[in-house]
């Protein structure tokens, strides 16, 4: 038990440090890095799914760590957070992930994202005061430890895509994977 407590305390310290470093980087980088207008695909229909892909999110990596899919394919992603921390699975370009990072940092700063849980009351307060508190996008899931979710996505373009976790510090720690699209 003691070793688990030490490991958890160490891991929490590392995540806290990552949040702090990410906040510093985001303040220096500004708010946006481009990416708007890039066509990455569309929400898919369950009746058009051609493949199901299981994704495990761990601290701080995905299994599998990359995907090879066909342009035009409709994929059902079954995503499970098997880590000890909140993680996100988002399909986007690298520029779109970078652009999304300040919103995720804002969620941390307002207490919505805690290392191991999503504070829904803080999300409601942020929504009331700022107009957003939880993102609800068809290409993204934000999951607490032990939770699962599903995305159905149609890959309609040949954009250079990746899937990533944009919780502050996670992307920079390597929690991302390439999506290779073929014709």
First to last CA, the chain: 52
- Least Cα distance to 107 among 91, 88, 93 occurs for 88
What was the pLDDT predicted at 11? 44
Give the span between the Cα atoms of 1 and 82, in whole angstroms: 20
Residue with tokens 């990359």: 66
Q: Please, what are the averages of pLDDT over each run of 10 residues along the chain (183 residues)?
A: 46 43 35 49 96 97 97 96 97 95 93 95 89 80 97 89 97 96 89
How many angstroms separate the CA atoms of 44 and 42, rounded?
6
Cα gap 3→81, rounded to integer Å: 23
Q: Which CATH number fits domain 2-182: 2.60.40.1080, 3.40.50.970, 2.60.40.420, 1.10.260.40?
A: 2.60.40.420
- pLDDT at residue 158 in the model: 74
Rounded CA gap, 19 and 5, in Å?
21
User: Would you state the pLDDT for residue 165?
Assistant: 97
Question: Residue 38: its pLDDT value, please?
Answer: 62
Taking the domains of the chain in order of start, what are their residue ranges? 2-182
| pTM (whole model) above 0.75 | yes
* CA 82, chain centre distance (Å): 14
Residue 153 backbone zone (phi > 0: left; psi -120 to 50: alpha; other: beta): beta
Length, in residues, of the chain: 183
C-alpha distances (whole Å) from 169 to each of 14, 34, 60, 101, 124 are 10, 20, 9, 9, 24
What is the helix (H) or strand (E) element at residue 114, kind and residue range?
strand 113-114
């Amino acid at each position: 038990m003691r070793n688990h407590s030490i490991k958890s305390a160490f891991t929490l310290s590392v995540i806290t440090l990552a949040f702090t470093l990410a906040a510093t980087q985001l303040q220096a980088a500004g708010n946006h890095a481009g990416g708007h207008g890039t066509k990455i695909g569309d929400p898919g229909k369950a009746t058009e799914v051609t493949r199901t892909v299981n994704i495990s999110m761990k601290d701080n990596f995905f299994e599998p760590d990359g995907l090879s899919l066909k342009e035009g394919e409709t994929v059902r992603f079954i995503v499970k957070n098997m880590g000890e921390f909140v993680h996100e699975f988002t399909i986007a370009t690298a520029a779109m992930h970078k652009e999304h990072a300040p919103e995720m940092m804002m969620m941390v700063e307002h207490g919505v994202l805690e290392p191991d849980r999503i504070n829904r009351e803080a999300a409601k307060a942020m929504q009331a005061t700022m107009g957003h508190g939880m993102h609800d996008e068809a290409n993204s899931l934000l999951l607490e430890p032990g939770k699962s979710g599903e995305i159905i996505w149609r890959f309609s373009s040949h954009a250079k895509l990746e899937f990533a976790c944009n919780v502050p510090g996670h992307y920079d720690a390597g929690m991302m994977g390439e999506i290779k699209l073929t014709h």
